[in-house]
Structure 1
């Protein structure tokens, strides 16, 4: 579910009412649909809130990345429970998770672009000006992210979204067991992933949009397998490992494609246009090489 509109952040900080288990406990097949949502969502919300707090004083790239990961996992989790949460509630929460993840990702994107440009600089000394400009863009992205990811607004929103979802689920599926539901949601995610993978495998030439679709579908499937592995039938460790490997390759391609898009969409007043163009040409070559590698791995997965 990919939506771009914003959801107005609620101001009041609503305290969470979450039943807690002993540390280290996992999901059980006898748990209800409602209780498993709380067990899975609560640590993700806590992680996102903690990362947002840390970013008010720190600018570590890993902190931005982990915040984005937590928000992406929340989107996948809300998709999984959407049959009981309802389309409107799922859409509203997912839109805001997506927006916040994009804000967190801006700094991370400049980190990745800067790293790629420094690699290119080894053989293209003229890119030094662009590397410096990318560092300035990264610094501005940190300031923007800190403003938009203020924990005084992010924390109330996440707490409120979690409490609303818990209330809705407890009202309709507090007594329904999780196993059959979890297996069905994983099955749907797997079907979507394989459909996109087979479409890519049939293509003689790798297409950027198709690979992006495979990457997003694979990420959702992997998150769901990780969420529900304790309660669904069969061992899924091998599938998670295979998906992680494919995601790594697709992620390398995506980093280059996203960096090219980022640089192409920015203005660099202190950098000659021909230098920017030189960087884009280098990134384009790297992108096609990564695309071919990603397409080969997807085909191997479908064989």
Structure 2
């Protein structure tokens, strides 16, 4: 979908300005579905805009990652409110969040691949040539991300998206309490994670795809718990901590699998094919080790 043609990115005059601490303090179980949306969305929007502005002049690897995380959080939030926002509006916003996250993530992907190959280089010095080539690809990815992520356009799009959503919600659920709705959406996310975990635990084929599905479902649930914790009963700190731990394990596996795919699908003109192949073999061995660890964690989660 071409978001620039289907949904122009205007620069609205109305901007939400919400302090993070005030937003948390204002969120109660008696708050309405409509009023909570902007309270939850805008701190993430502010962070995304600030990081986009920073990345126009800096190339901090973690900043690219955190920008990608901000867009993922917004996708989770739009999913939560999608019963009231409608499928079309949710899909339009989510597609653009996904696109922006992918652009921001390009640099991060090359950083991860480079770090892994530096480890491989310790056991085979010839891999240094590929490490150098990967760092060059990383520099190209930085330039691409900076060219594609215009902070002004990002700010205009995000503010307009929140304004549209807020207007829709105020027209249909301004007087409906958030508590029961939040619990329902969290339960649905929990069921999805449980279903995907059990499928991954039973499956003997497509293990990488199934683990990736578990990872995505776990992220969504964790983000929703972080968003809605003030308005749903029961402490969820333990659940969030467990999900974070599982995500770390799955993330370590995904980093290796994604790096292997990235290297395999890239042409390195100045690197001999045998060096690339040795690197891929090293990544494959590490991936096999990690997939067993990740599978065990998912089995524990499914049980």
Output the TM-score relative to the length of structure 1: 0.95
Q: How far does residue 180 in structure 1 lie from its aligned partner after superposition?
A: 0.5
Counterpart in 1 of 2:107?
107
Unaligned runs of 5+ in 2: none
**Per-residue Cα deviation, 1:174-219 (whole angstroms, up to 9, x for no partner):** 1110001000000100000000001112235781111001000010
Deviates more, 1:192-201 or 1:22-31: 22-31
Counterpart in 2 of 1:7?
3
Tell me the distance in 1 between the aligned counterparts of 2:289 and 2:227.
33
Counterpart in 2 of 1:194?
194
Tell me the distance in 2 between the aligned counterparts of 1:240 and 1:97.
23
Counterpart in 2 of 1:302?
302
Counterpart in 1 of 2:71?
71
Q: How far does residue 165 in structure 1 lie from its aligned partner after superposition?
A: 0.7
Counterpart in 1 of 2:184?
184
Counterpart in 2 of 1:212?
212
Is residue 167 of structure 2 the alignment partner of residue 171 of structure 1? Answer: no
Deviates more, 1:103-112 or 1:164-173: 164-173
How large is the Cα RMSD of the aligned pairs? 1.5
Contact 2:18 2:42 in 1 (8 A): no
Q: How far does residue 152 in structure 1 lie from its aligned partner after superposition?
A: 2.4
Tell me the distance in 1 between the aligned counterparts of 2:18 and 2:111.
37
Tell me the distance in 1 between the aligned counterparts of 2:290 and 2:26.
38
Q: How does 1:1-303 map to 2 (within 5 A)?
A: 5-8=1-4, 10-18=8-16, 20=18, 23=22, 25=25, 27-203=27-203, 207-303=207-303
**Per-residue Cα deviation, 1:88-145 (whole angstroms, up to 9, x for no partner):** 0000000000000000000000000000000000001110000000000000000000
Give the ranges of 4+ consecutive aligned residues of structure 1 lying more than 6 Å apart after TM superposition.
none
Q: How far does residue 15 in structure 1 lie from its aligned partner after superposition?
A: 3.4
Tell me the distance in 2 between the aligned counterparts of 1:240 and 1:227.
11
Deviates more, 1:158-167 or 1:129-138: 158-167
1:17/1:141 Cα in 2 relative to 1: closer, same or farther (>3 Å)? closer
Tell me the distance in 1 between the aligned counterparts of 2:205 and 2:88.
38
Q: Matched residue pairs, number? A: 299
Deviates more, 1:195-204 or 1:208-217: 195-204
Contact 2:28 2:231 in 1 (8 A): yes
Tell me the distance in 2 between the aligned counterparts of 1:162 and 1:213.
28
1:253/1:16 Cα in 2 relative to 1: closer, same or farther (>3 Å)? farther
Tell me the distance in 2 between the aligned counterparts of 1:84 and 1:147.
35
Contact 1:10 1:160 in 2 (8 A): no
The SS at the match of 1:267 is: coil
Unaligned runs of 5+ in 1: none
Tell me the distance in 2 between the aligned counterparts of 1:125 and 1:277.
14
Which structure dedicates a bigger proportion of its chain to helix?
Answer: 2
Tell me the distance in 2 between the aligned counterparts of 1:64 and 1:19.
24
